[in-house]
Structure 1
Amino acid sequence: MADESDAESRPLRVAVVGAGPAGIYAAETLTRRAPVPVTVDLLDRLPTPFGLVRHGIAPDHPKMRAIRDTLHRALDDPGVRFVGNVEVGTDVTLEDLRAHVDAVVYTYGAALDRPLSVDGEDLPGSLAATDLVAWYCGHPDADRARVESALEGVRRAVVVGVGNVALDVARVLARAPQELEPTDMPQHVLDVLAAAPVEEVTVLGRRGPAQASFTTMELRELDGLEQATVLVDPADLELSPAAEERIAGDRNATRNLAVLRGWAGHDAGPGRVALRLRFHRRPVRLLGADRVTGVEVERTTVGDDGRATGTGEFEVLPADLVVRSVGYRGEGLPGLPVDQRSGTVPNEQGRVLRDGRPSPGEYVAGWIKRGPSGVVGTNKHDARETVTSLLADAEAGVLRSGGDRDDLVRTLQARGAEPVLLEDWRAIDAAEVALGATRGRARTTMHERETLLAAVRAATAR
């Protein structure tokens, strides 16, 4: 434990757990806004930074994924140290971490999917969007065998959910192989998607288009696909006068409806993938014996309270693949509380609450703080609120002083961990660029952890 004079003379030391947008924005805000010098250790269990920007945003979103370049500037700050390939709770406990720093900010997101909780959900051919997205983004933990088995021979796919991730999944499944070829998807992903004979992709929303959570920008990206036509039933877009009045002040819903109405009545035509957006339908069970063969759905109506109510009208949609995208939830790290209902860490303005009281030196930001809502930029405001609380606590003297910053990496190495620092990440980055160049791409994502670490070792040996 550092003595009082050392604590007064040295920088404020902070560890941020999670090197995605929320964590990087928190680190950037700390180094820019703190009235005293600050050093930040940015920890991640993967050998690579950027979180959902690397492993969550679909690779056919080059402009969105370009956010990575902006985030990289924060990693170049001399006060920020990236420490990847370190799992908090396994390689280092929370208490160990607290011994090295004055404060910890947890920003590790909400990685668990929410189930549909219907019969047949566990059949082969039923996937969570988290599994499919991890696979096509090249996440080291993706279950390749399960996902690729589910995609084999798929002609009709149903995506349950009307958020941005659901649209990402539908768009990737409906794209022509030549559209995906320039992306940074791993080669095995491109090969499997090119071999899937997809003819129809249906996106299901249990409520109406006015309640859909996707953004207009994401919705518009469905238009102009080389081999797919977006189809919308005009009847799904009919609103009561009261509903029209309710959404009049909602710019996103108004814009979405305008886009959807522009597609109403389209015909896919021969040889094109039918990309259907269907509303007021909820899945009640998945059908099939050895694997999914269809989805039974019930027609719904939306009440004045915004809730969907079943009408008792049922139909069956043929499907070889069902992907659920109905939300995410977070889980606690060993020793960190989490509200099981909301999937978030209890907090007040970013201060972690234990037994209803702020825990000195512990903070949250991002999805694990507020739940899976907003877009990448939402994390900036969220991080500012948390950092404001942290700096106020530092000024008030309520933080406990940590030890020598350099002890953290040395301690990890002594325990057999292989922390990946910024220069190591640069070696991975260069290896991915070189791999992409072999096929005329800007980059190809390396998906296996051992391959990523091998790139680090090779650079170190030179």
Structure 2
Amino acid sequence: MTLRVAIVGGGPAGIYAADLLTKSETPVSVDILERLPAPFGLVRYGVAPDHPRIKEIIKALQRVIGHPDVRFLGNVEYGVDVKLEDLREFYDAVVVATGAMSDRALGIPGEELPGSFGAADFVSWYDAHPDVPRSWPLHAREVAVLGAGNVALDVARVLAKTGEEMLSTDIPDHVYLGLAAKQATDVHVFARRGPAYVKFSPLELRELAHSPNVDVIVHPEGFEVDDASMEHIAKNRQAKMVLDTLANWVGREPSGKPHRIHLHFLEQPVEIVGDDGAVGALRTERTRPVGDGSVEGTGEVTEWPAQAVYRAVGYRSTPLPGLPFDDRNAVIPNDGGRVLDLDGAPIAGTFVTGWIKRGPVGLIGHTKSDAAETVAHLLAETTLTARSRDRKDVDAYFAERDVDVVTHESWERIDQHEIALGEAAGRIRIKVAEREEMLRVGRG
């Protein structure tokens, strides 16, 4: 008999799990339930629009959701349109792959001031996520970005580049108009540790300097490479490439371009300072290496003028109804992908994969091995428990509840509509941002 599997979450983690299931020797029928009307998760709504090559992965993901043993069921929200006990009726196993889309808190004074933003929220705005407002306040001339990863670079780059430069991407009109009107001239990126330990990828870092309108300035203060840093880059080729690029930029004089990205190292944010009830400055404490890769504060505090602060210090998963949650680590407790109850025992037929399994670390490629571990346990341990085993039973359930399900065919209509919008403007694609418009297009 065919194994029935529900995957909650239509991003790379969920789709990779579906792919592995269909390639196994076990006959399977997989339904991917996604809250949004579009698949692909962070690849569509978390990758900066001026990184089209990264989105090439969508072609591979598209093939998976088009597999005859896989169904995409979009615009279906777990916990609202369907509960865990409902899924048990139709599926032998449930795999949770909802990822991490919330911003991790920094825990410093002033974090809640108007003008202090989570990077994930800003990314969702410029990626035309259907559930975020259409406008974004971009009046700040001096901006601080906190973090030392690729998301921090994305935010800094999008804030510094002109709206015209972004017009070749898939952004819709409201995002272009917002970026075209922004006032930022200087974007300061602050990293708590030294340059050998930043999490930038070499390619993303080099791309900062590709804009004809942006000067990249690496400040020599804090650009320290101690013995521990040298040992670290000796074992990490990417870290060495990043450090080499940064070293070539240290002390480079600005060329007079209208916008600047400043990179500061060994500066730890300690307070966001208010000015008339909104962000007016950022205070950082200079840190110093202690010889083992970590740093300690020196007590030397600097105040930097800033009318906006973007916190790019990591994503965080959120709890789901009916499932245990480790709030400290922001993951669903699990053993190799098998969800564990409060006593540490596996919950039969319940699995997890992706960032909500292991935390928001690693690149998209790491998700494949993660899914392989989870799927191996699922195939070895799942028994046939579903009472309603026909796909039509699932369709009837959602029809009775008036859920406007976006099928794979509906998504293909949305996809082709966005491509047609792009062709009319001489671009590859223009995203549809409004949920209701996506649903209308999907209905045909």
Counterpart in the other structure of 1:400: 385
Counterpart of 2:149 in structure 1: which amino acid? G
The alignment partner of 1:221 has SS state of: helix
The alignment partner of 2:231 has SS state of: helix
1:337 aligned to 307, 324, 330, which one? Answer: 324
Instruction: Go from structure 1 to structure 2 and tell me whether the alpha carbon gap of 1:233 and 1:69 turns closer, same or farther (over 3 Å shift).
Output: same
Counterpart in the other structure of 2:283: 296
1:274 aligned to 244, 252, 260, which one? Answer: 260
2:30 aligned to 27, 33, 40, which one? Answer: 40
CA displacement, residues 83-124 of structure 1 (integer Å, 9 cap, x when unaligned): 000001110101101110010110000112111222221222
- Within 5 Å, which residues of 2 pair with 1:24-423? 24-33=15-24, 35-145=25-135, 148-149=136-137, 151=138, 153-287=139-273, 288-354=275-341, 355-394=343-382, 397=383, 400-404=385-389, 405-423=391-409
Counterpart in the other structure of 1:23: 14
Counterpart in the other structure of 1:437: 423
- Normalising by structure 2, we get a TM-score of 0.96
CA displacement, residues 54-77 of structure 1 (integer Å, 9 cap, x when unaligned): 000001001001211111010111
Structure 1 segments, 4+ long, off by >6 Å, are none
Q: Distance in 2 between matches of 1:406 and 1:72?
A: 23
Q: Distance in 2 between matches of 1:236 and 1:248?
A: 21
Tell which deviates more after alignment, 291-300 or 84-93.
Answer: 291-300
Which ranges in structure 2 are unaligned for 5 or more consecutive residues? none
Tell me if the contact between 1:234 and 1:261 (Cα under 8 Å) persists in the aligned partners: no
Counterpart of 2:238 in structure 1: which amino acid? N
Counterpart of 1:173 in structure 2: which amino acid? L
The alignment partner of 2:110 has SS state of: coil
Counterpart in the other structure of 1:3: none
Q: Distance in 1 between matches of 2:192 and 2:200?
A: 14
CA displacement, residues 26-51 of structure 1 (integer Å, 9 cap, x when unaligned): 00010002x22111001100010000
Counterpart in the other structure of 1:6: none
Q: Distance in 1 between matches of 2:140 and 2:216?
A: 19
Q: Distance in 2 between matches of 1:86 and 1:93?
A: 11
Tell which deviates more after alignment, 133-142 or 244-253.
Answer: 244-253
Tell me if the contact between 1:185 and 1:444 (Cα under 8 Å) persists in the aligned partners: yes
The alignment partner of 1:245 has SS state of: helix
Counterpart of 1:114 in structure 2: which amino acid? R
Tell me if the contact between 1:176 and 1:226 (Cα under 8 Å) persists in the aligned partners: no
Tell me if the contact between 2:420 and 2:429 (Cα under 8 Å) persists in the aligned partners: yes
The alignment partner of 1:314 has SS state of: strand
Q: What is the total number of aligned residue pairs between the two structures?
A: 441
Q: Distance in 1 between matches of 2:387 and 2:295?
A: 51
Which ranges in structure 1 are unaligned for 5 or more consecutive residues? 1-9
Q: CA deviation at 1:402?
A: 4.3
CA displacement, residues 149-207 of structure 1 (integer Å, 9 cap, x when unaligned): 3x1x2211111001111111111111122320110012111111111122111111111
The alignment partner of 1:134 has SS state of: helix
* Structure 1 vs Structure 2 CA RMSD: 1.4
- Normalising by structure 1, we get a TM-score of 0.93
Q: Distance in 2 between matches of 1:128 and 1:175?
A: 20
Counterpart of 1:401 in structure 2: which amino acid? A
Q: Distance in 2 between matches of 1:304 and 1:142?
A: 44
Tell me if the contact between 1:360 and 1:400 (Cα under 8 Å) persists in the aligned partners: no
Tell me if the contact between 1:18 and 1:109 (Cα under 8 Å) persists in the aligned partners: yes
Counterpart in the other structure of 2:5: 14
Q: Distance in 2 between matches of 1:393 and 1:259?
A: 49
Q: Distance in 2 between matches of 1:409 and 1:316?
A: 58
Q: Distance in 2 between matches of 1:129 and 1:12?
A: 40
Tell me if the contact between 2:215 and 2:259 (Cα under 8 Å) persists in the aligned partners: yes
Q: Distance in 1 between matches of 2:377 and 2:298?
A: 48
CA displacement, residues 270-305 of structure 1 (integer Å, 9 cap, x when unaligned): 243111111111111112223212111111123234
Q: Distance in 2 between matches of 1:359 and 1:93?
A: 16
Percent identity between the two aligned chains: 48
Tell me if the contact between 2:130 and 2:434 (Cα under 8 Å) persists in the aligned partners: yes
Q: CA deviation at 1:318?
A: 1.1
Counterpart of 1:383 in structure 2: which amino acid? A
Counterpart of 2:55 in structure 1: which amino acid? R
Counterpart of 2:337 in structure 1: which amino acid? G
Q: Distance in 2 between matches of 1:402 and 1:210?
A: 56
Q: CA deviation at 1:436?
A: 2.0
Q: Distance in 1 between matches of 2:77 and 2:44?
A: 18
Counterpart of 1:250 in structure 2: which amino acid? N
Q: Distance in 1 between matches of 2:334 and 2:160?
A: 41
Counterpart of 2:312 in structure 1: which amino acid? S
Q: Distance in 2 between matches of 1:339 and 1:184?
A: 37
Q: CA deviation at 1:242?
A: 3.8
